[in-house]
Structure 1
Amino acid sequence: MTETQPLPRLTLSRQIRDALVRRIVSGELQPGERLIETRIAESYGTSQAPVREALRELETIGLVETKPRRGTFVRHFIQQTLRESYVVRAALEEAATRLALPSGTLPFDALRADVAALHDAARRGDVQAVGAASVSFHRHVIDAAHNELLKNAWEALQIEARTAATLVAVEPDLDEVANEHEELLNVLLSGDLDAACQLTRDHQWHYADLPHDAHGRTRL
């Protein structure tokens, strides 16, 4: 592995995780390549503990796999793994919207605060803060559905880790991410259930980067 500058102690495992995501998505770390904890720890000037935590998180979102007595390896088809998660997430968040909007349980003040945090983070170029505010926004909608099975399924997707990985892999325009959430907030405020459900689906399918949208139309 190439030598890397040591990282600050703060959120070290998260920084290692994001650095590995970049290297995996860019192809620097190839599918099937073994990730050796001691070498990664040495390259970042740290102990193996934060490396182990970072690898464990990457395994939960399907970017690496651990084989007994053999080690941890970069998985094949990682793009497909990320895409599939957003298709499932779209269905869950549409269902949450369909439950929460008519019931009047959406916490609009909290959603407005999340959108404000997104715009602030985007102005600062703070990718991590954009991810956190985005997850907070969508979690508020999930919670407002008051459906524990739906919530548990959503949480099982490891939303925080997948969102961070996507932001690292896709490198979207952060202002556009903030604007997308403001558009979601506005359609929820309008009370138009069909429009809110459609936009919720499209928002997640956009990040799935599939050749067609949520309605089967071919993307240009």
Structure 2
Amino acid sequence: MRSDEPGKLSRLTLSQQIRDSLVGRIVSGEIAPGERLIETRLAATYGTSQAPVREALRELEAMRMVETRPRRGTFVRHFVQQTLRESYVVRAALEETATRLAILGGTVPVAALRAEIEAMRAAARDGDAEAAVRASVAFHRHIVDAAQNELLKLSWEALQIEARTSVTVVAAGVDLHEIVQDHAELLASIESGELEAACKHARDHQWHYAALPHDAHGRSRKSAG
């Protein structure tokens, strides 16, 4: 059973599992825009108490995927896909800056980044999307940590990176081997020591998933293809 389906949850915390499942169901259209999410029904669906469901809904609200209306309840927001696109544009700016700071500061944790790529490679061989997502998020978190800028890190974490990455992998049907290749190329760019090229690569790496009709440089994706 896919991780975005109810009834079979494992790993992570229970609230995170419920959050990721709901995200997948919302993005796939199984739960429609405007639909009300009722805690008691969700708790029954997932075979749990209301507490982890409530926490999952709070996280979804922070991701701007649902909204709570006073005295009415929690509803799925419209334009969820637009919200996902916007998050990648913001993430691109943050990670470009983090890459710049880490390179200038000489704090790039190359060994740790290589280890995460190996973890992604193992996950791709096993067809384990969840493990691939964890390794991908860890890879980028190493770079953000290496920037040594707490406000940047807080802003990055506020984007709910792991949940959004899970959504992208599931909704876009991303090839796990492609994830490995993308990160290997990004690391090679960082290791090259060419600051502007590495920063551009870090930015473009995220813009690729923004699913916009143009890239970060204003070029039409159609004409580029």
| Percent identical | 68
**SS of structure 1 residue aligned to 2:214:** coil
Tell whether the 8 Å contact from 1:66 to 1:72 is kept in structure 2 after alignment. yes
Counterpart of 1:21 in structure 2: which amino acid?
V
Q: What is the correspondence of 1:63-82 to structure 2 with a 5 Å cutoff?
A: 63-82=65-84
Distance 1:189 1:9 in 2: 36
CA deviation map 1:43-62 (0-9, x unaligned): 22222222222222211111
Further displaced range: 50-59 or 104-113: 50-59
Distance 1:159 1:136 in 2: 10
Q: What is the correspondence of 1:56-205 to structure 2 with a 5 Å cutoff?
A: 56-205=58-207
Distance 2:157 2:9 in 1: 29
Further displaced range: 39-48 or 173-182: 39-48
Counterpart of 2:166 in structure 1: which amino acid?
A
Further displaced range: 44-53 or 209-218: 44-53
Distance 1:65 1:77 in 2: 12
Shift of 1:85: 0.8
Counterpart of 1:50 in structure 2: which amino acid?
P
Distance 1:90 1:105 in 2: 20
Counterpart position of 2:8 = 7
Distance 2:44 2:200 in 1: 48
**SS of structure 2 residue aligned to 1:73:** strand
CA deviation map 1:88-128 (0-9, x unaligned): 11011111111211321101011111111111112112222
Tell whether the 8 Å contact from 2:6 to 2:21 is kept in structure 1 after alignment. no
> Over the residues paired in the alignment, what is the CA RMSD in angstroms?
1.7
**SS of structure 2 residue aligned to 1:100:** helix
Tell whether the 8 Å contact from 1:94 to 1:201 is kept in structure 2 after alignment. yes
Further displaced range: 199-208 or 9-18: 9-18
**SS of structure 1 residue aligned to 2:67:** strand
Question: Which consecutive residues of structure 1, in runs of 5 or more, have no partner in the other structure?
Answer: none
**SS of structure 2 residue aligned to 1:31:** coil
Give the direction of change, closer, same or farther, for the CA distance of 1:117–1:215 in structure 2 (3 Å limit).
same
**SS of structure 1 residue aligned to 2:221:** coil
**SS of structure 2 residue aligned to 1:72:** strand
TM-score after normalising by structure 2:
0.90
Counterpart position of 2:212 = 210
TM-score after normalising by structure 1:
0.92
